[in-house]
Structure 1
Amino acid sequence: MIYLRLVIESFRFAWQALQSNVLRTTLSLLGVTIGIFAIISVFTLVDSLERNVRDSMSFIGDKVLYVEKWPWSFGGSYPWWKYFQRPEPTEYEYRQLARNLTNDAGVTITSTKGSATLKYKNNSISDASISGVTFDYNKVIEVPVETGRYFVQQETDAARNVAIIGSEIATSLFPQQSPIGQQFKVAGQKFTVIGVLKKQGENMFGITLDNQALVPFGAFSKMYDTGPQGIGNQIAIKGIESDIGLQELEYEVRGTMRNIRGTRPRDDDSFAINRPEMATQAISGFFSVVGLAGWVIGGFAILVGGFGIANIMFVSVKERTNIIGIQKSLGAKNYFILFQFLFESVFLSVLGGGFGILLVFLLTLIPQDAMEITLSAGNIILGLGVSAVIGMLSGIIPAVMASNLDPVVAIRSK
């Protein structure tokens, strides 16, 4: 009960100090408000941007390894010109990997032709992309079929001319009618639509899967050359949940590919194993730098605000010296006086930080077409926590001074 009374008493003194000189207190808290606003707004923008970037990169899959000719990032001592001498992954290598791997949840080979022209009667779309995939493609990459169905094993094995199309293709070629069962023409071949993908829209990179068509890999190979001099292939392998970091899968893929290509022990790999983490790590590094800049900018403002709160507390101790003497003469302990002023300092600082967080929240209410900005609970807790620490550091010296006052001397002061 005594602790509750102590809190209520401290809150009352803090509120009186705020009301006694509103302008002085407001100006002193302005530094904390600006500092917390700067830090939390940067963190909120970074978190929102990072989330949107990661969502935009979801099309490359999660827990997936890609076997390709080219790496996604260049580094090390490997001569850049040797990349040109590497062969493209082949369908034979895909089948060997699918047959021999044990730490995978699915293996697929894909090849994509961009800017393909699809036609149906008088309607056409020229900026579509068409990808040849194998049956296990949906085990590696999510395929959100909204209407119709996915491929069956016989269709991909027999290289039948069937297709799953994006919503933009469906709207452009088959307006006012169901695309399922209709036929469109591409590169001299007719394909029957068996499914339509769910509309996804453009991501932050301007990439959309709404204008993509998926066909069996064999049917794709009849239209386009996927060999060494052709479009090129990509083998994607989905990892299992128990393989943390996909280390076991990567070792197995590397060993199997080197064995397939007859690579000697001392020779370098003639292929690249790419991970989505390569891109996300680069993104995380960039956002870490931005977050650090937010701490530096906001830190200076918070430092100024901390000195302002310390100034308020010194003035408050000076103005209430007589009251402190009376409290001590009536039996108030030193820790009661200490906690009273410390709570007042923390309360004022958290109040300033709360206004800063409120400004950030108002910022998130502004409609944004590019990305959705959301103030997370973690950033709110961070802002209030930093404010409380600043208040504690700013008020500790004045609070100690007040608790150590001699009651006789304090009562005689004016």
Structure 2
Amino acid sequence: MRFLRQVLESFRFAWQALRSNLLRTTLSLLGVTVGIFAIIAVFTLVDSLERNIKDRLNVIGDRTLYVQKWPFVFDPSFPWWRYFQRPEPTYAEYRMLADRLENAEAITAMSGKGNVTVKNQNNLMKARVFGVTYAYNAIMEVPIEQGRYFQPQEMEAGRNVVVIGADVADNLFPNQYAVGKTMKISGLNFVIIGVQERQGTGLIDINGPPDERCIIPYPTFAKLFQSIRPGVAIAVKGRADDEGLMELESEIRGILRARRSLKPVQEDNFSINRPEALMAAIGSIFSVLTLAGWVIGSFSILVGGFGIANIMFVSVKERTNIIGIQKSLGAKNYFILFQFLFEAILLSLVGGLVGIFLVYLLSFMQLGTLVIRLSIGNIMLGLGVSSIIGVISGIVPALSAARMDPVTAIRSK
């Protein structure tokens, strides 16, 4: 109990010392403030960017494999020119996979074309037209706000029906209910059966901004845009009980290799892509940015730590006589040690709190669809780093004060 009381008394002495020298205290904590702000700001921005990008990538499907000509992540050991020699997946291959796959929950073929003119009377804009098969909404997110999704008969017959994004609806049919009306896509009339919810733009939008997209049946898309070079991307959603989708991937590979008459010694001339591979590549980029944040912030914190250590040596020098009086009255070494150690830690913690508060203010900035969010983990990290810097900066001055000879300390004045 006595020990705890003396520790609290040491804390009170440290607090009074900081209050009695407000200007010096303020100048001393600036270095730590800048360092903690730099580190936590970078971490917060990186976390927010990564969260924004991964949320956008979630729309490409969960438990999904993509059969495409190009891989999501290029293998540096694989000759790049061989990718060009690969054939595009075809609609016939999609039909074969749809008929033969046993481990698939859903499968769709899709293809897109950008910069297509869409029009309603005098209102026109450039949009991305996307041709899909019926199971597209079982794999991708298609949030319908008005109207409905496609019916199987519309898909199979290749009818001129379309589901449009929110921006397309606003531009072509301002202040109107678009469902049931007719619009032109590349000069051909299409009946609007659905309007998607507004989704906004992200840092990464697979297949373009979703609000500027027109989705039509793939057979119709092929007649409009793929009369010369047909080709699709095939998305296959696996079953929940297929761990890692290994069975599904093996099944897809076997069917396609047989379809393309590949010999056992020949390599695949297609890519089976996983969204997690893309996320892993993005994660490695953000790991580099995080490391850069540590490097940038560490220099500032190092300067701040030296500043605190310098101030603590000055404080010990100024209070040498008081230290001698306290020791002559029976104060223990740890009582003197804690006074200066707490002072250094408090100084560093206040600087860290100010830096964290500045990052919190940064979270109110409007950066389009990027939401900056200061996490509890980053707050705890900032406080932890501040405390460590305080201990490191204050331990040597505190030890020198605790080891003073009381008689010599009293005579110093």
Q: TM-score range, shorter-chain basis?
A: 0.7 to 0.9
- How much does 1:153 deviate? 2.9
Task: Show the counterpart of 2:372.
Answer: 373
- Residues in 1 aligned to 2:145 and 2:6: alpha-carbon distance in whole angstroms: 62
> Over residues 68-121 of structure 1, what are the superposed CA-to-partner deviations in whole Å (9 max), with x where a residue is unaligned?
11223433443333333322212232233234444444211102232333344x
The answer for the alignment partner of 2:347 in structure 1 is: 348
Structure 1 stretch 327-336 or stretch 354-363: which is displaced more? 327-336
How far residue 174 of structure 1 moved from its aligned partner, in angstroms, is 3.0
Match of 1:213 in 2: 214
Quickly say closer, same or farther: Cα 1:176–1:351, change in 2 above 3 A.
Answer: closer
TM-score by length of 2: 0.87
Shift of 1:320: 3.5
TM-score, scaled to structure 1: 0.87
Cα distance in 1 between the residues matched to 2:372 and 2:306: 32
Deviations 1:291-343 (A, max 9, x none): 22222222122112112212222233333344444544555444343333322
Pair 1:286 & 2:271 matched:
no
d(CA) in 1 for partners of 2:236, 2:2: 64
Which residue number corresponds to residue 172 of structure 2? 173
How do 1:1-400 and structure 2 match up within 5 A?
A: 2=2, 5-120=5-120, 122-187=121-186, 189-204=188-203, 207-225=208-226, 229-240=228-239, 246-328=245-327, 331-369=330-368, 371-400=370-399
Taking every aligned residue pair, what percent have the same amino acid on both sides?
58
- Secondary structure of the 1:210 match is helix
Q: Please state how far the C-alpha of 1:409 moved relative to its aligned partner.
A: 4.9
Write the letter of the residue equivalent to 2:44: T
Deviations 1:214-268 (A, max 9, x none): 1222333343336xx4252100123455656544543343233223323211101
Alpha-carbon distance in 2 for matches of 1:171, 1:72? 33
2:257 aligns to what SS in structure 1? Answer: helix
Q: Number of residue pairs matched?
A: 411
- CA separation in 1, counterparts of 2:176 and 2:298? 60
Cα distance in structure 1, aligned partners of 2:244 and 2:396 = 49
Q: 1:379 corresponds to which letter in structure 2?
A: N
CA displacement, residues 181-236 of structure 1 (integer Å, 9 cap, x when unaligned): 2233435654322211011233335831222121222333343336xx42521001
The SS at the match of 1:371 is: coil
Question: Residues 112 and 231 of structure 1 are in contact (CA less than 8 Å); yes or no, is this contact kept in structure 2?
Answer: no
Distance in 1, matches of 2:81 and 2:128, equals 29
Alignment gaps of 5+ in structure 1: none
Residues 2, 217 of structure 1: CA spacing in aligned structure 2 closer, same or farther, 3 A cutoff? farther
